[in-house]
Structure 1
């Protein structure tokens, strides 16, 4: 009697609700298990693939380019040795090394002199320029009224923009490419241009970049890391739709085309990348006029916008729509030894792990939803400022709008600053 008073049997409605809850829970668990299996079976960018056969790579002539500033530590610990190894694998007769160091206050100059000595022993043709002009020298000089690359800032003075400055340095390095093709004796031309940042890399990494899609690309890039698992160069990387990466961790991208290629471990179609190492088809750099590095116009920069020269170069490259820009997920480089080791774990050939992949995919899914308002507002701000700039002048055009961000960057004595 008392049991019947205090323990009534569940109603049909309650039983129906419980049944639906069980079905929903079972469905979620089933989806989760299938998702985990699918992710674990997906191609992994971590499974190290062999570099392209050296006899194939030997057929190509490679112009190796780099700029340095206060990089003594990584030059001595990794960079010099990796470059020398790469040169020997490519064949000293098939490469040219063009390096510009600008105003370092550490021992970068001595480290590059040591590199120069070793390249001489290998018989490598090269040009390594060491300059004493510092950032302070650059920003303290008085520019002419019409000199490009300078801008009035909120600090009430005319300041040197970072991107035009870096573009000028990169173009000076690339001047050697055209000079070698135009000299009267022993002319040299190259099939690929290989830019190397101040990163920990191996010859294997560089060869894999050069061999991306069997060499069929406008440009091919690595992934770079400073504090893994987050990638580093957010300023230059844009997915196949032109959007910034939606997350800093794998699989990174908003565009389904880029994201699915990354998840499958295939070369990833993107509109722009740089990310430590980048190889270009050299053809556009020989055209008249040649492909060059640049910043956006000073007039557009006044609207508090900036774009990386490492992104704009792809927007200007006539081969980009023909051959494409590709990020090679098999090549991961680091800005320090710890970062490189973390993305090349010795205990496992797999990076990221299945658990990291699962977490990354769910973070990506959530970010696509909750960041939609922020992305929309950011895009609207950039678009409105570009339209305002166009409306205030005749025949104004910027082909690299997808490269633009809501920032102003200027050179300072110890680096650069956001304003």
Structure 2
């Protein structure tokens, strides 16, 4: 039977009304469920610092004087006092900054010394210019595949020529992070062993943030991370973050993930299972760093793999190398949100987070990106996979454990920062 035009229109309208009603009910449920979970979590009392747990705090600083003076120094001193001097050690490392970061760190050193807080504050005067001026080392350097111009930190453009040797950014950062960890082993030589390693970026945070992070899953984790924001509500550290399936975030706005297990835990304000994270504030179980045979270290990917125009964050690779990652898991605590300035911190902490609008836009954007995989992200994944497989074919006896960390980039150190080659 052929429907008359009027009947067809009514049928279409009825179908659209039903579809709209389903979408509306679904969306309202999303808002209610996320709000209910967040409210439930907010009623949980703040945990205390365990009196029998020692915390090694590590931080690396470059050109971050403003946040040090405005927030970080006072926060880290307060944190150390809240933990208690017998149970804390602060290792801070400043490297060749373009501002007065070194002076700010000296003030921190004076404050820690005055208060009797165990610490090691190192001032590395070597600038990026010093690093790029060195003769190429056996590893951590790469030959420029093409001539390219760069500009950074308000300088004029300058050019790096094809076949010019330049240091890679990630091996450089890995080396500095390992230097920050050096006092951990010096303390071990004195008979002092730490239970957790807490890495802090140059972020705004409070002692309560750290308490809650350390207490994630009752302290049972290989690593636990906060969420970090530079221009809220946009999430910052997508380079190191991989969801439970090893995928990079679908978007830099809530709820971020492709993996259902990661996404659902986030919506429920529960610890989020991930393959890797860093996110401004990160707590490790310290045991792998003390392994007598193969202590956990920071590293970059091999130079010949990087030459394929691939890179992986040292902050991601460390989880791939960590033997505890498979046993205890890597987690994000979504109830801990730090910012790279006071404005960002307040935006994600001084109100309901995420907002109702962010929930609505976020969940539907995420759904469409999963249902219609047309974004550049999927193309990039295929490109990375193809390059990594080609490298494995050429090197059958080698394997990159952190293949899920790889992205289609080449990052090099420049005299005033870093850039993409």
Query: Matches of 2:43 and 2:111 in 1, distance apart?
Result: 29
CA deviation map 1:334-387 (0-9, x unaligned): 112211121123xx3x11112210111111112223444644432222122112
Q: Is the 8 A contact 2:136 2:167 kept in 1?
A: no
Q: Is the 8 A contact 1:224 1:275 kept in 2?
A: yes
User: How many pairs are equivalent?
Assistant: 400
Structure having the higher Rg: 1
1:107 is aligned to 100
Write out aligned runs for 1:206-355 (5 A): 206-287=210-291, 288-345=293-350, 348=351, 350-355=352-357
2:153 is aligned to none
* 1:124 maps to 2:117: yes
* 1:23 maps to 2:32: no
Distance verdict in 2 for CA 1:126–1:162, change over 3 Å: same
Query: Matches of 2:108 and 2:44 in 1, distance apart?
Result: 27
Q: Is the 8 A contact 2:140 2:171 kept in 1?
A: yes
Query: Matches of 1:49 and 1:131 in 2, distance apart?
Result: 44
2:173 is aligned to 166
Q: Is the 8 A contact 1:51 1:204 kept in 2?
A: no
Query: Matches of 1:182 and 1:367 in 2, distance apart?
Result: 52
Unmatched tracts of structure 2, length 5 or more: 147-160
CA deviation map 1:127-170 (0-9, x unaligned): 000121100001101134xx210111123211000000000000
1:13 is aligned to 4
* 1:141 maps to 2:134: yes
Task: Report the secondary structure of 2:279's partner residue.
Answer: coil
Query: Matches of 1:376 and 1:201 in 2, distance apart?
Result: 34
Task: Report the secondary structure of 1:151's partner residue.
Answer: strand
Query: Matches of 1:149 and 1:271 in 2, distance apart?
Result: 25
Q: Is the 8 A contact 2:244 2:275 kept in 1?
A: yes
Counterpart selection for 1:35 from 11, 18, 26: 26
1:66 is aligned to 59
Deviation at 1:22, TM superposition (A): 3.4
Distance verdict in 2 for CA 1:80–1:259, change over 3 Å: same
Task: Report the secondary structure of 2:388's partner residue.
Answer: helix
Give the TM-score normalised by structure 1.
Answer: 0.91
- Range that drifts further, 69-78 or 17-26: 17-26
